[in-house]
Structure 1
Amino acid sequence: MATKDLIMASTKRKSDASTSASAKKARPALDAAADSVRSILTDPTDFPVPQSEDAVRRLFLTLAQYARSLEEQVEASKPKERSTQELNAAAVKLRAAARSGIRKQMTWKPSCKTGTAKWAYDGVCADPAVFGAFLGLDGPPTFKTKKIPRDEFVNLIGDLSVAIRYDTLRVTSNDVNIRWNATDGTFKCSGSYGKNGGKASSISTNDHPRSMSEPQTAAAPAAPATGQQEQSTLKKFLGIAQQLFFMWAITNLATKFFTKPSTKQPPVSTKSGDPNAAPVDPWLLPPAQAIPAWDLGQKLDMHVHLSTSPHGQVFNTPIWQKQQDKDLPKFIWTNLTFGDFNVAHKADFDIKFPKSVLNNGSLWMDVFLTKDGGSPDPHNAAFSSENTHHVRKLLTPYLPRLKVRKEHKLLGSAEGPETGEEPEENITLALVSDGAKIPYGTLAPAISEFVHLLPDKRDETGTQGFYMPIVFSNEFWHLREHYVELNSTTPILPIQIVFQPMSYLKFQMFAAMTSGFKEAAKQQGGSAGAELDELKRMLIETNPWFLALTAVVSLLHVLFEMLAFKSDVSHWRQKKEMVGVSIIILLYLIDNNENTSWMILFGSGTGVLIEAWKVAKAVDISIIPAPAGSLIPYKLVIKDKHVLSEDEKKTQEYDKLAFRYVSYVAIPLLAAYTGYSLLYNTHRGWYSFVISTLTSFVYMFGFAQLVPQLIINYKLKRWIYRVDPKRINEYGQVMAENVAAIDGETKKNK
């Protein structure tokens, strides 16, 4: 084959080589050399060889140039040597990313109550020298695994404490495990955390990272904790008060979190104890205040990714996890303006859940807020940690299953209709857009967990920090019935993600109320869930004016019911005889229902107890042996507590007469309603049928029980207030046979 057949011109393709004029001229020759190499490797024993010596020389020259270009590309791909300042700057960014990632994993778990929980941070650092500076080494690491003492690691990274309600989470493991893979530049830091992460004075709380070669400043002794204990006790008391008075939950929460009086903080002790000594470095303390790190009017992009990554490593996931999350949605909302309250977006998806999520795995929503044009991907050239804010939201919380009450017709096989609303798969992402100045030092835990400070950045005094824009996932309006159980029967579900701006005051209210409701549900168990959901439902579905009227009427109802109970008990305690009173025993049973309000249960239960006490007040109930020959060995005997007088016997007679009249109407009505309920209504069983039928009948025809008392009162009053023939009417007249007697009366005998 001729030389021109072997070294053929190939089609130009995109290359990473230089775009200079000389490189463009050499590119066709290099492409031809690459084609020649492929031809030789394809058929090593019978590849075409040029016939002329000049052609062979040109071939060797082309192959040599191709080899040199490959060497240059390899050399160019190596990381450039950085100066000490550049290494330290890159190490600071890597530490900030690691500190943020570790803090996000340090969330409250049940094991933290008495023990610890695990954390593991996975990162990527392509330059070994930067990773060496990250660990405070003099050069690239020479190890694959290493253990670093906890205090040393915290001094390197910065403050790793996370504030939770009434406590603080800290790193508890004595050593932090470090793994380094020089091949792909990946590393992993792991350890454990809990409530008691060693002595606070031995761990630097300075957010400003420091290398191992820098001198360490001893932390000041901790201030007296008496005030904190008193404040914690006050919060617990307020929490109990909120549980007892659900109708004032919103007011109590608002008072607790928004009108909290500012208290003067005790001065921080110095090392020597001398009040005239120099104050402690403010960098060792949390900032007292914080202002937005980004300016109002800044253009933003919001990147939303749904993933199964437990650590939020959306862009550094292994291949198997990328394959698992390939069907999960990811999108970007662009051209957002920080501080603009007139923008709103919606995104609707049909999510195909991975098998791991259907098998009790977790699904997360990772939200990246970047400045306009920035990228949340650390491998992208447009990435900047100061211009990127990352928050996470768990979309698949673990909840107890609701009890399903199956009902059916007792005389048929048809089941009743399923009750409940269709679930609302709605997720609201709110961006706090008013740029408020936050008193960071006195924030409640329910609010501070959403406020992320910019590490290593404060004002010249060191007391004012800078916080990233607050992204709040508002789930206050989510009811228990809105959550859908995930299993093999629900592989695909619709979801709507909504973006809307929110003021800082509104964010405080929703964050505080959400946290307060969750705490109440945890402390009271499952019974509180229905109460809280009903309260939310009233706020959602009811007109505010009507809601206020309902609250007032409910309070008055409770007040008057208690007064009626008091009056009833006082009357019966002092009553010695039963003239004119009809004893009616009312059996009112309530079928157990977890959705029944405690206010209704309390009133009904108190009424039943009073009725039982009134029966015991009127009669004696005893059990005596049955006569010989009876099937049952004992029998129930009910006797009046005292011998009836003539008036009481008349009352009893009229009582029986009145009930006979009422039964002529009530019994047919009860029979008709029983038949209707048996044929057309659904019930869980015969017991439920009997209870619900009697209760419904009492609700509809309860007025009938008042008729006997009216008849008795009418009969007795006819005798008590009979006509007096000697009485002078309004015209001064009396009956004729009594005129003489009236005329003979004097003032003395009158």
Structure 2
Amino acid sequence: MFPSCYSKPTSSKDQFKRTSLTKILLGVFVVYMSHTCWVIYGFVYTKPCERGKGDCISSYLAERPRLQDNRQVHHVAQLSTYMLSKGNLSSAKKVLKKHAVTAPRVVDRPISHWRSRLTLNMMSEDFTFNRGTLPSDVRRYMRVFQDENRMVYLPFLHIDELSVRVKDMMEINGSTTKLPLTISYEGLSLRQFRFWIHMQDVMFSLKHFGFTEVNIDEIKGVLVDNNLYLLALTTLVTAFHFIFEFLAFKNDISFWRKKKNMVGMSRKAVLWRCFSTIVIFLKMLEERSSLLVLIPVGIGIIIEVWKVKKVSKIQLQWRTSRSIVHVGKFDESERKTTQHDTQLKSVGHLQWNVLMYK
């Protein structure tokens, strides 16, 4: 057995500081999640206008669904665009993923493409808005006019840009004689209508931040090809995963900060764990994994390197012209730990177990 060691108990002042920092960080996260839930709730629920209690705007088609007159609502849709050919987009995607130095240069020469699908969305829900609390995202699609003593609005018409994928674009060249066009219509509720126009605004914003057509098309595939409820569940699970990851980092750092000596700690296991974490991070970096995965692993590398520094008792002292590295000496109990670490068979092969586990 290893000799017992006495560690000085942590003062209540230091413990209070660490506890306060943890509570502050958790509080900031809770406030951020609460704000996000409130914004989502604003899209899900829109307070209707009660007749006689406010300046209401009602639906025109709900009042006279069979009436034919000159009032109309229309939008202009662009059916052609300039972009890279599908082959060049696929090559660019592979080059971005593999970072191939000797890969052939992708010709960035855009050509004309035809949009073969056009999806029209219209809000089919009979909803009465309050003029004083009209949502800003709905206001730009609203066409209001006076009908006798009431304010009414024409149907909300929206051209769905999220359904336009790269695979649906058709190249236009000299041999093109026909340009097919499939027009589809879909009725949406008010919450769905607001959600999709918000997502479409996000896609336009990503272009200004430098996202390529390939990146935006992948995001569109996640939104359009998957169930929205499944995406919401995935977001919730990811948020809880970040909470548990943060708590794990916090407990790991707290444990190692309290260690005044390395009695009973295997230095080989710590070294190999640090090495395996770096290898895994470099592999994921090469595969261009998501930042949701890279950031926690990168933080884990910093913690593992700090553990190696603490286990090896390495201290850096910065002076005016150079830095000096000091390696501390191990006491008798720590040298016995190293001896047991080398002699015990189970501990002697621990580095391979750690590497295989990672």
TM-score tier, shorter chain, comes to 0.5 to 0.7
1: CA distance, partners of 2:159 / 2:118:
7
Judging changes above 3 Å, is the alpha-carbon distance between structure 1 residues 613 and 661 closer, same or farther for their aligned structure 2 residues?
closer
Asked if the contact 1:431–1:471 (Cα under 8 Å) also holds between the matched residues in 2, the reply is yes
The size of the alignment, in residue pairs, is 290
Post-superposition CA distance 1:603-653 (Å, at most 9, x none): 112111111211222232779xxxxxxxxxxxxx98753225331331452
Residue correspondence of structure 1 range 388-427 to structure 2 within 5 A: 388-395=72-79, 403-406=92-95, 425-427=116-118
Residue 520 (structure 1) shift: 6.0
Q: Which residue of 2 aligns with 1:498?
A: 184
Judging changes above 3 Å, is the alpha-carbon distance between structure 1 residues 659 and 638 closer, same or farther for their aligned structure 2 residues?
farther
Residue 531 (structure 1) shift: 9.3
Judging changes above 3 Å, is the alpha-carbon distance between structure 1 residues 429 and 607 closer, same or farther for their aligned structure 2 residues?
same
Name the SS of the counterpart of 1:526 in structure 2: coil
Residue 569 (structure 1) shift: 0.6
Does residue 642 of structure 1 match 2:329?
yes
2: CA distance, partners of 1:622 / 1:438:
66
Does residue 468 of structure 1 match 2:159?
no
Judging changes above 3 Å, is the alpha-carbon distance between structure 1 residues 622 and 569 closer, same or farther for their aligned structure 2 residues?
closer
1: CA distance, partners of 2:347 / 2:163:
52
**Percent same amino acid at aligned positions?**
19
Q: Aligned letter for 1:540?
A: D
Post-superposition CA distance 1:467-516 (Å, at most 9, x none): 3332222334556x55759675996765432123333443233334433x
Name the SS of the counterpart of 1:610 in structure 2: helix
Does residue 446 of structure 1 match 2:137?
yes
Does residue 430 of structure 1 match 2:121?
yes
Q: Aligned letter for 1:601?
A: L
Q: Which residue of 1 aligns with 2:293?
A: 600
Post-superposition CA distance 1:80-139 (Å, at most 9, x none): xxxxxxxxxxxxxxxxxxxxxxxxxxxxxxxxxxxxxxxxxxxxxxxxxxxxxxxxxxxx
Q: Which residue of 2 aligns with 1:507?
A: 193
Q: Aligned letter for 1:558?
A: F
Name the SS of the counterpart of 2:297 in structure 1: helix
Asked if the contact 1:424–1:482 (Cα under 8 Å) also holds between the matched residues in 2, the reply is no
2: CA distance, partners of 1:649 / 1:447:
69
Residue 535 (structure 1) shift: 8.6
Asked if the contact 1:530–1:595 (Cα under 8 Å) also holds between the matched residues in 2, the reply is no
Q: Aligned letter for 1:255?
A: Y
Q: Which residue of 2 aligns with 1:562?
A: 246
Q: TM-score, normalised by structure 1?
A: 0.31
Judging changes above 3 Å, is the alpha-carbon distance between structure 1 residues 550 and 259 closer, same or farther for their aligned structure 2 residues?
closer
Does residue 298 of structure 1 match 2:84?
no
Asked if the contact 2:117–2:168 (Cα under 8 Å) also holds between the matched residues in 1, the reply is no
Q: Which residue of 1 aligns with 2:206?
A: 521
RMSD: 5.2
Asked if the contact 1:293–1:466 (Cα under 8 Å) also holds between the matched residues in 2, the reply is no
Q: Aligned letter for 1:467?
A: Y
Q: Which segments of 5 or more consecutive residues in structure 2 lack a partner in the other structure?
A: 1-28, 50-54, 104-113, 318-323
Name the SS of the counterpart of 2:187 in structure 1: strand
Residue 261 (structure 1) shift: 6.7
Residue correspondence of structure 1 range 579-590 to structure 2 within 5 A: 579-582=263-266, 583-584=270-271, 585-586=274-275, 587-588=278-279, 589-590=281-282
Post-superposition CA distance 1:34-68 (Å, at most 9, x none): xxxxxxxxxxxxxxxxxxxxxxxxxxxxxxxxxxx
Judging changes above 3 Å, is the alpha-carbon distance between structure 1 residues 459 and 642 closer, same or farther for their aligned structure 2 residues?
farther
Q: Which residue of 1 aligns with 2:307?
A: 614
Q: Which residue of 1 aligns with 2:42?
A: 256
2: CA distance, partners of 1:648 / 1:563:
29
Name the SS of the counterpart of 1:391 in structure 2: coil
2: CA distance, partners of 1:532 / 1:600:
21
Asked if the contact 1:426–1:496 (Cα under 8 Å) also holds between the matched residues in 2, the reply is yes
Residue 705 (structure 1) shift: 5.7
Q: Aligned letter for 2:183?
A: I
2: CA distance, partners of 1:606 / 1:490:
55
Residue 570 (structure 1) shift: 1.0
Asked if the contact 2:59–2:153 (Cα under 8 Å) also holds between the matched residues in 1, the reply is yes
Name the SS of the counterpart of 1:609 in structure 2: helix
Residue correspondence of structure 1 range 13-412 to structure 2 within 5 A: 251-257=37-43, 259=45, 289-292=57-60, 296-298=64-66, 371=68, 386-395=70-79, 403-406=92-95
Asked if the contact 2:73–2:157 (Cα under 8 Å) also holds between the matched residues in 1, the reply is no
Asked if the contact 2:115–2:170 (Cα under 8 Å) also holds between the matched residues in 1, the reply is no
1: CA distance, partners of 2:224 / 2:170:
25
Judging changes above 3 Å, is the alpha-carbon distance between structure 1 residues 595 and 260 closer, same or farther for their aligned structure 2 residues?
farther
Judging changes above 3 Å, is the alpha-carbon distance between structure 1 residues 293 and 601 closer, same or farther for their aligned structure 2 residues?
same
2: CA distance, partners of 1:490 / 1:537:
34
More displaced 10-residue stretch of structure 1: 464-473 or 600-609:
464-473
Q: TM-score, normalised by structure 2?
A: 0.59
Name the SS of the counterpart of 2:77 in structure 1: strand
Asked if the contact 2:57–2:153 (Cα under 8 Å) also holds between the matched residues in 1, the reply is no
Q: Which has the higher helix share?
A: 2
Asked if the contact 1:458–1:465 (Cα under 8 Å) also holds between the matched residues in 2, the reply is yes
Judging changes above 3 Å, is the alpha-carbon distance between structure 1 residues 439 and 607 closer, same or farther for their aligned structure 2 residues?
same
Asked if the contact 1:450–1:471 (Cα under 8 Å) also holds between the matched residues in 2, the reply is yes
Residue 254 (structure 1) shift: 3.7
Q: Which residue of 1 aligns with 2:109?
A: none
Q: Which segments of 5 or more consecutive residues in structure 1 lack a partner in the other structure?
A: 1-240, 264-286, 300-370, 372-383, 414-422, 624-636, 667-700, 707-750
Q: Which residue of 1 aligns with 2:26?
A: none
Asked if the contact 2:79–2:115 (Cα under 8 Å) also holds between the matched residues in 1, the reply is no
Name the SS of the counterpart of 2:42 in structure 1: helix
2: CA distance, partners of 1:564 / 1:396:
52
1: CA distance, partners of 2:179 / 2:305:
53
2: CA distance, partners of 1:424 / 1:473:
13
Residue 429 (structure 1) shift: 0.9
Q: Aligned letter for 2:124?
A: S
Q: Aligned letter for 2:137?
A: A
Name the SS of the counterpart of 2:129 in structure 1: coil
Post-superposition CA distance 1:709-738 (Å, at most 9, x none): xxxxxxxxxxxxxxxxxxxxxxxxxxxxxx
Q: Aligned letter for 2:194?
A: Q
Q: Aligned letter for 1:436?
A: F
Residue 557 (structure 1) shift: 2.3
2: CA distance, partners of 1:511 / 1:556:
28
Q: Which residue of 1 aligns with 2:226?
A: 541
Judging changes above 3 Å, is the alpha-carbon distance between structure 1 residues 292 and 496 closer, same or farther for their aligned structure 2 residues?
same
Residue correspondence of structure 1 range 640-679 to structure 2 within 5 A: 640-645=327-332, 646-654=335-343
Name the SS of the counterpart of 1:289 in structure 2: strand
Post-superposition CA distance 1:363-390 (Å, at most 9, x none): xxxxxxxx4xxxxxxxxxxxx7x24433
Q: Aligned letter for 2:120?
A: L
Name the SS of the counterpart of 1:465 in structure 2: strand
* Greater radius of gyration (CA): 1
Does residue 704 of structure 1 match 2:327?
no
Q: Aligned letter for 1:445?
A: S
